[in-house]
Structure 1
Amino acid sequence: MVVRGMQYLKRNKSIILQFVKRETLSRYKGSQLGFTWTIITPLLMLLVYTFVFGEIFQAKWKTDSSSTIEFAIIIFCGLSTYNLFAEVISRSPHLITSNPNYVKKVVFPVETFSIIAVGSALINASINFLLVIIFQQIFGSGLSWSILMLPFVLLPLILYTLGLSWFLSSIGVFLRDIGQIIGVAVQALMLLSPIFYSIDVIPNEFKWFYQLNPITYFVENIRNVVIWGELPSINSYLIQLISSIIISILGLIWFRKTKQGFSDVL
């Protein structure tokens, strides 16, 4: 299944790259600065977090930290991780319904819509992580060699997000209300994940929920390799990776089983 997936990506590489490029550029079509906004927007947000949490609230992630900007960098790192997931999942219920012509009139590999959504979100996330790395080196405690593991730690998140996207894009064709439900769920999940607060402050009676929340592991592992210079345990990483591969495979199987009915509904 994995080999067939790689062959599928290779066969449709030009389509995927073309659509990812088009989606990325179309976000800023007509603006004077164009693609530069992909750098300016997260940079402005990072400065806002720095001002609000560092200067106004004087917040600290750890009690022994004297850096006012460290809190903002940690939050921005977690939020960048979450946004990669949230951007794709929020769009997924509408990926097929917003492109009916590709389903009804053209022989088109509709499975690629989820891959394209992930690729587009990954470009924005990469820029965000680059800013985190730069600020961590300049204003934080510096970088560790563990930063080299960032692509490997991101891989389970990408596969997990892709699998859910295939599930939701298929369900969204037959159940249009799923988009509204997902919109609320994504917002709730942001507050129920350790993005704006440390997992250490969560009461013991609620920690079971955070242990079931996969976003917790993604956020914590990426923070560890980028901010704290720590590597995830091999066992924990393998469980995440294998689980994400299973989710992505099941999502693709579900999508292909149901896509025959897309044209009838659309």
Structure 2
Amino acid sequence: MPISILKVLWSNKNLLNQFTKRDVVGRYKGSYLGLLWTFITPLLMLVIYTFVFSEVFKARWGTVGGNKAEYALVLFTGLIVFNIFSEVITRAPSLLVGNSNLVTKVVFPLEIMPVAILCASIFHALINFALLIVSLILILGVLQWTLFLAPLVLLPLILLTLGLGWILASLGVYLRDLGQVIGIAMQAIMLMSPIFYPISSIPENLRIIYYINPVSYVIEDMRRVVIWGEMPNWTWLGIGTVIGLVVFMAGYSWFQKTKKGFADVL
């Protein structure tokens, strides 16, 4: 099945590219600053989150000491990873409903739409990642050699995100309230992921919540390879990739089986 999925994506690569560009450019269409908001938005959110958690709640990351600038880098890394997941999952339920004109076109490959959102999300993540690398050089004065492992660390999350994206895009056609539920769920997942604080600060009896959250592992591994120059958790990387592949294939299979009824509902 993975090979057949890749064939579909490759045969529609030009269309996928057009939809990805439309999503990236269309987000800031009509604004004076345009794509500059891609840089400004994460920086503003970074400043807000850093102020709230380091000044108001006095949060610290023991591994990097009490330096607020270093804490900001740790926080920013977690947000980059989480935003890839969050953007796709949050938008997926309304994706087909918002493009009903395309659903009625029999020849249109609807399965590429969640992929386009993922590609746009990764594009924004790459810009944020470039900002992170510059900040690491300016603040810490070092660029870790393990940085090249970052794409490998993201692989389980990308597979999981796309699989869930197909499932939620399909369900969103039939369950119009799903988008509201997912929005609340994303807020909960964000707060229950080690973005603003390390897992070590969580009481032992509650850590199971973080261990069953696949996003937690990816966030932790990304910090290891990008900031601290450590190897990722290879055990999780293997398990996570398998889980991601299962969800990826299940999501695609579910989408293919249910898409026949999209036009009738919409």
What TM-score bracket applies, with the shorter chain setting the length? over 0.9
Report the equivalent of 2:73: 73
Deviation digits for residues 102-159 of structure 1, max 9, x if unmatched?
1113520000111011011111111112111211221136221111111111111111
Report the equivalent of 2:100: 100
The residue matched to 2:126 in structure 1 has which SS? helix
How many matched pairs? Answer: 266
* CA 1:15–1:259: 2 relative to 1, 3 Å: same
The residue matched to 1:32 in structure 2 has which SS? coil
Instruction: Write out aligned runs for 1:123-134 (5 A).
Output: 123-134=123-134
Report the equivalent of 2:165: 165
Report the equivalent of 1:155: 155
Report the equivalent of 1:26: 26
1:17 maps onto 2:17 in alignment: yes
The answer for unaligned runs of 5 or more in structure 2 is none
Report the equivalent of 2:248: 248
The residue matched to 2:227 in structure 1 has which SS? helix
Question: Hey, what's the Cα distance between the residues in 2 that align with 1:56 and 1:142?
Answer: 29
Please state how far the C-alpha of 1:60 moved relative to its aligned partner.
Answer: 2.6
Report the equivalent of 1:220: 220
Question: Hey, what's the Cα distance between the residues in 2 that align with 1:64 and 1:87?
Answer: 29
TM-score (norm 1): 0.94
Deviation digits for residues 75-122 of structure 1, max 9, x if unmatched?
111011111111110001011111111111352000011101101111
* CA 1:52–1:185: 2 relative to 1, 3 Å: closer
TM-score (norm 2): 0.94
Q: CA RMSD in A?
A: 1.7
Report the equivalent of 1:192: 192
Report the equivalent of 1:62: 62
Please state how far the C-alpha of 1:258 moved relative to its aligned partner.
Answer: 0.5
Report the equivalent of 2:206: 206
The answer for unaligned runs of 5 or more in structure 1 is none
* CA 1:55–1:202: 2 relative to 1, 3 Å: closer
In the alignment, is the contact (CA less than 8 A) between 1:224 and 1:231 conserved in 2? yes
Identity across matched positions, percent: 47
Deviation digits for residues 162-186 of structure 1, max 9, x if unmatched?
0000010111111111111111101
